[in-house]
Structure 1
Amino acid sequence: MSPDKTEDEDKDVNVDQDQFNEEEESLGRVILPNKKKGEMFGIVEKMEGASRLSVMCEDGYTRNARIPGRMRKRMWIREKDLVIVKPWEFQPEKADVVYRYTKTQASYLSRNHMLPEVIDIFK
């Protein structure tokens, strides 16, 4: 402990550093879209109800996406969320949501220039 700081101030600094380290560790490994399977980034534009939403995809198209049953109760999606979508093979204007990023993960991807310019709203 330095003579300029009191014991309380020194503890505050340590707490802040611990929170920062926990945040960095919680990021861990960020999931990226599998291009071989046709997955891509998307931004949720509008919630349409009944587990359906409008998503602006990285290829410039707006698709009607649905939240599959296995994700419906586990993952709550809001407007402006970054998601991974997989367009349907037989109806390319529709898609399934594969994954939703947290705000921390989305800003991490933006900072590291991993998002296409079309959907990078986290600048």
Structure 2
Amino acid sequence: MKNKGKGGKTRRRGKNDTEGDKRELTFKTEGQEYAYVTKMVGGSRLNAVSVKGENLLVHIRGSMRKKVWIVTGNLVLVSEREFEKPKEGAMRNVDLLVRYSDDEEAQLRKYGEIPDMRPKINEATTVDEADEDGIEFNADAESDDDDGPNSADAKHDDFNIDDI
């Protein structure tokens, strides 16, 4: 039996014991597919892109909530919800079955289950000209005529409070 030592639950949390984390590799079956997590939505849901390029709304099962840590970019195995019919124009609802570690993802690539290239998840967004509202900020330009209230050359004797 393993000696647990002294300390409470915070000591056990901080240890990061990964001795027995080797598990059997789970391959997809009919009705299941591999996907990459793109965004955490909240309410035990997340957005993902399947290996085929389809957008999915993934529901984290109750047995995995607060036990399996899922972040953007993880490879997951999802299954279709047979009791729900997909709505027109909406993302398909699927359930999360397995989150793969980096080692397991490399093994799946070696077996040819997933493609060698990962999809781009964090794409840079560009601002359209219609969204700018005509306001331009330029931090590099130096202004010579700084008449602001914090200016060293500001003259306050032109302003009289009694004139108001």
TM-score by length of 2: 0.51
Aligned residues: 95
Matched residue of 1:109: which SS? Answer: helix
Question: Residue type matched to 1:115 in 2?
Answer: I
Which of residues 38, 41, 45 is equivalent to 1:45? 38
What is the distance in 1 between the residues matched to 2:106 and 2:40?
22
- CA contact under 8 A between 1:27 and 1:104: conserved in structure 2? no
Structure having the higher Rg: 2
Question: Match for residue 9 of structure 1?
Answer: none
Unmatched tracts of structure 2, length 5 or more: 1-18, 87-91, 120-164
Matched residue of 1:73: which SS? Answer: coil
Identity %: 29
- CA contact under 8 A between 1:27 and 1:105: conserved in structure 2? no
Unmatched tracts of structure 1, length 5 or more: 1-22
Alignment partner of 1:84 is 2:77: yes
What is the distance in 2 between the residues matched to 1:28 and 1:67?
20
Matched residue of 1:79: which SS? Answer: coil
Alignment partner of 1:56 is 2:55: no
Question: Residue type matched to 1:102 in 2?
Answer: S
TM-score by length of 1: 0.66
Question: Match for residue 107 of structure 1?
Answer: 106
Shift of 1:55: 1.0
Question: Match for residue 121 of structure 1?
Answer: 118
Which of residues 15, 25, 32 is equivalent to 1:30? 25
Alignment partner of 1:65 is 2:62: no
Matched residue of 1:69: which SS? Answer: coil
Structure 1 or 2: larger helix share?
1
What is the distance in 2 between the residues matched to 1:46 and 1:28?
26
Question: Match for residue 140 of structure 2?
Answer: none
What is the distance in 2 between the residues matched to 1:29 and 1:53?
25
What is the distance in 2 between the residues matched to 1:91 and 1:58?
21
1:14-60 deviation per Cα after TM superposition (whole angstroms, max 9, x unaligned): xxxxxxxxx9xx6563111112xx01111101111121100111332
